[in-house]
Amino acid sequence: MNLARVEALPGVVAVCRFRDDGSLIEVAGRLPAERAAHLARFAHWYRRAVSGNTDLLSLLSQMPGWSPSQGWIVRGASIGVCSVGNLVCLFEHPEGAVSEIVQALNDAARG
């Protein structure tokens, strides 16, 4: 699945694919290239932080299923960002249907 299909969803501002080092591979949407590169680096850093926390939660809880993490979502008052794999999406809400965006990201990351 290409990024344009994710970008076409209601509320999506931009969607980016990034490398394992956080560098930008491609972007679709209304975000200047420099800001998209910043978003990709942020998503890479945040994914590492979430992975560390889920590993710790798995160890401390002794419950299976926490690790590896599958993605993350952060929502503010009017904008949010979510990531699955090496994809990150910046979206506006309440327009953005978060579950639909996450599902599209999941499909794109696996396909």
Q: Is the pLDDT of residue 63 over 90?
A: no
% of the chain residues with pLDDT over 70: 99
Looking at the DSSP assignment, which residues form a beta bridge with residue 28?
15
Q: How confident is the model at residue 68 (pLDDT cuts 50, 70, 90)?
A: confident
Per-residue confidence (pLDDT) for residue 95, from 0 to 100: 72
Cα separation, 62 vs 81, in Å, equals: 30
Give the angle subtended at the CA of 57 by the CAs of 51 and 63, to the nearest 5°. Answer: 120
Helix (H), strand (E) at residue 8 = none
Per-residue confidence (pLDDT) for residue 11, from 0 to 100: 94
> Among 20-29, 32-41, 59-68, which stretch is predicted with the lowest mean pLDDT?
59-68
Q: Is the pLDDT of residue 1 over 70?
A: no
Q: How far is CA 40 from CA 81, 92, 106, in A?
A: 11, 18, 17
The whole-model pTM stands at 0.91
Mean pLDDT of 93-101: 84
